[in-house]
Amino acid sequence: MLSAKSEQFLIELRMYLVQRGRSDEDIQGIVDELESHLIESEKNGKSVESIVGKDPKQYMKSIGASLPVATKELMVLIPATLLVILAYLAYIPALSGAFKLSQTVLWGIIPVILSLAVYSSLIFKVLPKLHAKPVKQGIIAVAVSTGVIGFWVAFYLWMVPETASAYFTATTGQNYVILAICLAIFIAYALYTKSWITIIVAALMSAGPLAENWIPQEVNEDPAYIALAIGGFVLIGIAIVWFLMSKRHKTA
């Protein structure tokens, strides 16, 4: 079993290498090897500093410099990720039958890029440093999310007067075509990255518009059902937090 400090070092190393475009296989290889080394060293009473030196950042750089950049993977992954982002932007309007290209949508790419930059620095730089402090991690994640959502709301309130200027408004048939293209992109990306996350996010995003279509108007606007739904989600949230905390407690 690794100490929290060693675990944190391995997480920071992984994030550092991911950010610098090293291949998953190479990253897994070196992380496994160092984990095995750290386990044996700690059993013999050695500290993580005796393994990686006094400057872990410098050590990460030397590991990064020894691994090749996964150019081929990145040449596919970067355009594919941009395509998925565009698909996410088009998906909900098309699902609601209201896809259109307006100034709001086009300028909306700016907050999307800014949000991605904020979240990637949060995931790759800030959270790994707080590996042993989950409460602090949670507070920072909530604070950043509140800031990002606030920025989005302010941006759209500012852009609302421009929404009338739609360059292109999709017909019902075109909405279905856009929807089918988006779904194909999500499935292809999930197959390429061997991860369900793209599809799960799309499914979660669909819940609102689909529920609006299927749930009768009077039920949708009934305060009792609204309160019931909020209560249900709060309970699910509490259950997930409790499950994660008990899992963490067991592995600690």
Shortest separation between residue 33's beta carbon and another protein, angstroms: 5
For residue 160, CA distances in Å to 115, 154, 155, 181, 185 come to 20, 10, 9, 27, 29
Cβ neighbours of residue 32 closer than 8 Å, sequence gap 6 or more: none
The only residue of 21, 59, 86, 209 in contact with another protein, by rule CB under 8 A: 59
Please report whether residue 24 would count as binding another protein according to CB under 8 A: no
The only residue of 4, 32, 180, 212 in contact with another protein, by rule CB under 8 A: 32
| ∠ Cα 7 11 14 (to 5°) | 140
Q: For another protein, which stretch binds (CB under 8 A), given 24-32, 142-150, 225-233, 244-252? A: 24-32
123 DSSP 8-state letter: I
CB 51 within 8 A of CB 41: yes
Please report whether residue 50 would count as binding another protein according to CB under 8 A: yes
| ∠ Cα 174 176 178 (to 5°) | 70
Shortest separation between residue 3's beta carbon and another protein, angstroms: 13
The only residue of 11, 19, 24, 41 in contact with another protein, by rule CB under 8 A: 41
Q: For residue 175, count other CB atoms closer than 10 A to its CB.
A: 20
31 or 77, CB closer to another protein?
A: 31
**Which residues of this chain interact with another protein, rule CB under 8 A?**
29-30, 32-37, 39-41, 43, 46, 49-53, 59, 62-63, 65-68
